[in-house]
Amino acid sequence: MIEKGRISALQMATLLYPTIIATAILLVPAITGEYAKKDMWLSPIWASLAGLFVIFLAVKLEQRFPEQTIIQYSGTITGKLIGKLIGVLIVLYYFHATGIILLEYGNFVIGSFLPRTPLLIVIGSMVLVCGLAVRGGIEVMARTAQVLVPFVILFFTLIMILLTPELNLDNLFPVMEYGLKPSLKGAIIPASWFLQLFIIAFILPVLKKGEKIGKAGILTVITVMITLVITNLVTLLLFGVITTSFTYPVMEAARFISVADFLQHLESVVMAIWVAGTFIKVSLFYYVVVIGTAQVLHISDFRPIVLPIGLFLTVLSFWTSSSLQELEQILITSFPFYDFFVLIIIPMLLLVIAKVRKKGATKNRRNKGKVKK
């Protein structure tokens, strides 16, 4: 393993939680509401099944190939040439995904708070800070997440509680007026966020021995699902069907908060959630890009390539799309299929081929062939 650090299952869950909700809580309500209407709060429940499935795939593959990432065992399963192509494809996917995340972050910060600040400064500063975390390794990133995530949860809970007096239950009914179809249709886009949990395939090799990886993965999916259900439900009860008219419904919701003309303008709290969560998300995706690149190129130490890759990610974020509207279209139209192919089809084929060709270990190093759940 290139990475010498080791983290616990709880630290892994702490890393994964903001990796999904950081961007989802701002973008998912409007996107889901477009298709699910009043049933938008149900969509994250169906979407979470995608998260459970990719975690299942990652754990099963890790059982057969302990202490290896998908970049490494794809060559063992399919052969050197095809395995190398799969590795390159996965690394390119994470390059592209990281660029999109950075552009989402930059557009939000500039559009909501710093309209006169150059996009390059906003994105470049985030990449620099994340690069320092990546150079520190997975342990530094996990400990940073342990410090930041409780504040993210606290601020999120504060926003939801303070919005309670403004909520209108009439906006919720009738539930499932047109059956399950709208909520299932609305679950397609959020499922893309849950599919990102396949990033666990790069974390499992650095977990401490004896950790309950199955339980930690399921806990992560459930907490993310609950967070998105609450987010969608609150925005629905506040705005009703006009939720889709806002790009960032949670940001607009925060502007409604006013307690005794004293506690107002809590957009800064949403900003704090966004920046802290995005920092962890970008750091983890950035880390996967660096580790994946090092493994594809057979580099023994990943640290020297961290800053050069960071520079490339900064440039790539500007190439991703030319406007916020175009970026939203990419997330709605092409990216779900992109995610589905890379994060489900490829791992599923690798697992099937590994079983048919009887590749990999038959016992899990953690608990004699059984994943603790």
Q: What backbone phi and psi angles, to 5 degrees, belong to 114?
A: -125, 65
- For residue 149, what is the domain's CATH number? 1.20.1740.10
pLDDT digits (tens, 9 = 90+) for 179-224: 889 999 999 989 999 999 999 999 999 998 877 788 888 999 999 9
Coil, strand or helix at 263: strand
Place of tokens 């709208």: 182
Give tens-digit pLDDT for 98-130: 999 999 899 888 887 888 999 999 999 999 999
CA distance 273 to 277: 6
Has residue 364 been placed in a domain?
no
pLDDT in tens, 327-355: 778 878 888 888 999 999 999 999 999 99
Position 368 in a domain: no
3-state secondary structure of 207: strand
Structural domain contains residue 242: yes
Domain assignment of residue 363, yes or no: no
Residue 152: HSE in the Cβ half-sphere, 13 Å Cα cutoff: 27
Residues 257-271: pLDDT tens digits? Answer: 776 566 666 777 778
For the purposes of burial, counting CB atoms within 10 Å of the CB of 348, is it exposed (0-12), middle (13-18) or buried (19 or more)?
middle
pLDDT in tens, 235-246: 999 988 888 888
Per residue in 157-189, pLDDT tens?
888 888 888 888 888 888 888 888 999 999 998
pLDDT of 135 reads 93
295 falls in which pLDDT band (50, 70, 90)? very high
Predicted TM-score (pTM) of the model is: 0.90
Given a contact cutoff of 8 angstroms between Cβ atoms, the answer to whether 36 and 182 are in contact is yes
Helix (H) or strand (E) holding 32: helix 9-36
Segment 58-79, tens digit of pLDDT? 999 998 998 899 999 999 999 8
Q: Residue 237 has what pLDDT?
A: 92
What pLDDT sits at residue 264?
Answer: 66
pLDDT at residue 26 in the model: 84
Q: What is the Cα–Cα distance from 4 to 19, expressed in whole angstroms?
A: 22
DSSP state, residue 304: G
The tally of domains found in the chain comes to 1
Would you say residue 3 lies in a domain? no
How confident is the model at residue 97, as a pLDDT? 93
pLDDT at residue 255, rounded to an integer: 78
**What gap in Å lies between CA 330 and CA 326, rounded to an integer?**
6
Token readout for 127 is 């990449």
- Residue bearing tokens 């809580």: 25
Q: How far apart are CA 306 and CA 218, in angstroms?
A: 31
Share of the chain above pLDDT 70, in %: 94
Mean pLDDT score, 136-140: 92
- Between CA 305 and CA 300 the distance in angstroms is 11
361 belongs to a structural domain = no
Round to the nearest angstrom and report the end-to-end CA distance of the chain.
26
Q: Do the domain assignments include residue 44?
A: yes
The range of the structural domain enclosing residue 229 comes to: 9-356
Which residues pair with residue 264 across a beta bridge? 258
On whether residue 271 sits in a domain, the answer given is yes
Q: Which residues pair with 207 in a beta bridge?
A: 7
